[in-house]
Amino acid sequence: MSLFTLHGLVKRFGGLLVTDHVDLHVERGEIHALIGPNGAGKTTLVNLISGVLDPDEGRVLLDGVELTGKDAYERVACGLSRCFQITSIFPKASVRDNLKMALQAHTGHSFQLFASRAGNTALAQGAEALALRCGLEASLDQIAGNLPHGVQRTLDVALALAANPKLLLLDEPMAGMGPHESARMLALIESLRGSMAILLIEHDMDAVFALADRISVLVYGKVLVSGNADTIKNDPQVQAVYLGDEAGSDAAIAALAREVA
Ligand SMILES: Nc1ncnc2c1ncn2[C@@H]1O[C@H](COP(=O)(O)OP(=O)(O)OP(=O)(O)O)[C@@H](O)[C@H]1O
């Protein structure tokens, strides 16, 4: 059984069919990328998965548990963490306190934990371990809101990891990053491989091809094709969608053009 499954997911906005009977599965430990040209419906699908939106039809299942109809916070408790593009960070708190608060939120007895000395020590140690895992140890005592964009994105991933997810939903983790920051984020995602499943929505096609075990291509709200990087690069329909679509991202077109050449 797959870890994560979407069954016949449908979302309409008025008369517009934005999610068109989407079936998708993510295996345990897999990095699965979701790509598609602008307006394909990726953001809507992410919102349906994370519980921001309810589908008109279909089901969302994680590790045999029905997520359909659950609130976003209930989905986190079921093992689904989503990176919210920095909005989950407390900008006036230090990185250390951000991490401690995230860890505290995911322990069942959070208030007792902060109240006791042993609990506080456990949280502090957990925060340091999480920082080390994500390469944030040098920033632990800095105020989160003062950090460079790339480090804030990394903190956002660390906060999602605090929930110890079975599936990590990464929504354009490289957006707005320079090459150096992107390379660091790529290395971080690579380091998570195998310890959880990851559903990666990303425009940077070099990153997608480097990281993804499988890729699903969304076009007009439908999954056009799913497969490994070679299958996707060589698929004539995918090439037509990207090479024939002026709205597709430059990076995507450039990456696919290189592969086709
Ligand atoms: N709340 C909404 N009401 C009406 N139409 C919407 C709404 N949200 C999205 N849409 C439409 O649904 C379609 C898919 O949008 P969506 O943002 O999911 O695509 P996307 O693949 O994430 O695109 P991009 O990469 O450009 O963000 C678009 O035509 C968009 O205009």
**CA-closest residue to ligand 1 atom 12:** 18
- Region of 22 (left: φ > 0; alpha: ψ -120 to 50; beta: rest) is beta
The alpha carbon of 51 and the centre of ligand 1 are apart by a number of angstroms equal to 16
Class of domain 1-79+165-261: alpha beta
Q: State if pTM tops 0.95.
A: no
**CA-closest residue to ligand 1 atom 29:** 39
CB atoms near residue 133 (< 10 Å): 16
Q: Is 39 in the pocket of ligand 1 (CB under 6 A)?
A: yes
pLDDT of residue 248: 47
pLDDT of residue 242: 74
- How do 214-219 and 222-227 pair as beta strands? antiparallel
Q: Is 42 in the pocket of ligand 1 (CB under 6 A)?
A: yes
In whole numbers, what is the pLDDT of the chain averaged over residues? 88
CA distance 259 to 261: 6
Beta bridge partners, 89, equal none
**Residue 46 in contact with residue 201, Cβ under 8 Å?**
yes
Query: What percent of the chain is modeled with pLDDT above 70?
Result: 87
Residue 127: name the closest of 99, 93, 152, 87 by CA: 99
User: Domain boundaries in the chain?
Assistant: 1-79+165-261, 81-161
Ligand 1 atom closest to the Cα of residue 43 is: 22
**Residue 132 in contact with residue 62, Cβ under 8 Å?**
no
Provide the residue type at 225 as one letter. V
pLDDT of residue 256: 54
The alpha carbon of 18 and the centre of ligand 1 are apart by a number of angstroms equal to 7
End-to-end CA distance of the chain: 38
Taking only the tens place, the pLDDT of each residue in 141-187 is 999 999 999 999 999 999 999 999 999 999 999 988 899 999 999 99
pLDDT of residue 19 exceeding 50, the answer is yes
In 93-154, where do the E strands start and end? none
Please give the torsion angle defined by the CA atoms of residues 224, 229, 233 and 237, in that order, rounded to the nearest 10 degrees: -10
List the structure tokens of 42: 């990726």
pLDDT of residue 261: 44
SS3 call for 133: helix
**Longest alpha-carbon distance in the chain:** 63
H or E element at residue 123: helix 117-134
pLDDT of residue 247 exceeding 50, the answer is no
pLDDT of residue 14 exceeding 90, the answer is yes
Query: What percent of the chain is modeled with pLDDT above 90?
Result: 71
Dihedral (CA of 51, 105, 78, 203) sign = positive
pLDDT of residue 117: 67
Model confidence at 214, pLDDT cuts 50, 70, 90, reads very high
CA distance 2 to 206: 26
Taking only the tens place, the pLDDT of each residue in 46-91 is 999 999 999 999 999 999 999 999 998 899 989 999 886 556 789 9
pLDDT of residue 73: 85
pLDDT of residue 94: 96
Residues in the chain: 261
Model confidence at 239, pLDDT cuts 50, 70, 90, reads confident
**Residue 97 in contact with residue 120, Cβ under 8 Å?**
no
**Residue 31 in contact with residue 189, Cβ under 8 Å?**
yes
